[in-house]
């Protein structure tokens, strides 16, 4: 039985990039019998000596993504001395970038993994915002980085999604006079909670537009000024009871309100570390 051909994938990080490229190339040769052996997180020349020894013994190829210059140089020199085929999968494109952008690379392992981590944290935050939107599940209050509270149509949902794209886990809770606020709001640090308020006339305008969009009469109680005043008065009492920061969103874009919230968070961190 014919032994499988071995390609050693060597990296000073995980080595996922090299593995994908090796698989792509082997598929072009209909090579289903290629075995990929991982040597990840290479840190020193001893790690390289080990893979060089086994690659020479098995007459194998080394495909690598090593960005630390001293390790790359050592691997290039030693494989050349031993007559081993070693392919740098990143350097040609790295050189092209250096030429095009007239800049030097970071030469730091694992940067792509950091980018991936940022991506997955953002996705997780967005999923969190959807799950704990509009008080659907009060369990999110204690798990959230930020809890937004306010009456209906104070931009709680768009703010939650905007902040989620900044990788913050956000829950939002509507305040309605007929429904007692969740006890959890009073158990979390008050700086984790942000109250959103709005002027009565602006809220009246927004709610009337909302009713028109839904094909409903603007005379509904939802948009009546006395009902709005009742809701706003109730919500501000709850916010004062919690002792949370309050932002008036009347004439602010979502981005502007989000910047104010992020500034509050930054200030909170500075105070915490002092």
The reply to whether 5-109 and 119-273 are identical in fold is: yes
157 is in an annotated binding site: yes
Q: Does the domain spanning 119-273 belong to CATH 1.10.3110?
A: no
pLDDT of residue 213: 87
Q: Residue ranges per domain, the chain?
A: 5-109, 119-273
80 is in an annotated binding site: no
Question: d(Cα 173, Cα 198) in Å, to the nearest integer?
Answer: 16
Nearest to 240 by CA among 175, 178, 154: 175
152 is in an annotated binding site: yes
Nearest to 17 by CA among 106, 101, 116, 96: 116
pLDDT along the chain (274 residues), means of 10: 78 81 86 82 90 93 91 95 94 87 77 68 89 92 96 96 94 96 96 96 94 87 95 97 97 95 81 43
45 is in an annotated binding site: no
pLDDT of residue 262: 94
pTM: 0.62
In sequence order, what are the residues at sequence separation of 6 or more whose Cβ sits closer than 8 angstroms to the Cβ of residue 110?
13, 14
pLDDT of residue 268: 72
240 is in an annotated binding site: no
70 is in an annotated binding site: no
Q: What is the CATH T-level fold of the domain 5-109, as seen in this structure? A: Rossmann fold (3.40.50)
Taking the CA atoms of residue 245, residue 252, residue 222 and residue 160 in that order, the dihedral angle to the nearest 10 degrees is: -60
155 is in an annotated binding site: yes
Please, are residues 181 and 140 in contact by the beta-carbon 8 Å criterion?
no
């Amino acid at each position: 039985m014919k032994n499988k051909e071995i390609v050693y994938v060597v990296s000073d990080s995980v080595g996922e990039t090299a593995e994908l490229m090796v698989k792509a190339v082997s598929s072009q040769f209909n090579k289903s019998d290629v075995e990929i052996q991982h040597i990840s997180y290479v840190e020193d020349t001893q790690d390289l000596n080990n893979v060089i020894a086994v690659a020479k013994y098995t007459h194998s190829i080394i495909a690598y993504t090593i960005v630390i210059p001293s390790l790359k140089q050592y691997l290039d020199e030693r494989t050349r001395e031993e007559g081993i085929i070693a392919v740098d999968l990143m350097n040609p494109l790295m050189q092209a970038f250096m030429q095009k952008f007239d800049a030097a690379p970071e030469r730091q392992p694992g940067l792509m993994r950091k980018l991936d981590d940022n991506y997955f944290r953002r996705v997780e935050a967005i999923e969190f915002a959807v799950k704990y939107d509009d008080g659907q599940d009060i369990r999110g209050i204690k798990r959230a980085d930020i809890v937004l509270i306010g009456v209906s149509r104070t931009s709680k949902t768009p703010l939650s999604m905007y902040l989620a794209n900044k990788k913050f886990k956000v829950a939002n809770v509507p305040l309605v006079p007929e429904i007692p606020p969740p006890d959890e709001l009073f158990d979390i640090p008050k700086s984790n909670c942000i109250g959103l308020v709005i002027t009565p006339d602006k809220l009246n305008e927004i709610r009337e537009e909302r009713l028109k969009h839904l094909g409903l009469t603007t005379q509904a109680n939802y948009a009546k000024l006395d009902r709005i005043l009742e809701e706003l008065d109730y919500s501000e009492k709850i916010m004062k009871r919690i002792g949370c920061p309050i932002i008036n969103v009347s004439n602010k874009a979502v981005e502007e309100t989000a910047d104010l919230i992020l500034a509050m968070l930054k200030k909170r961190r500075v105070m915490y570390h002092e």
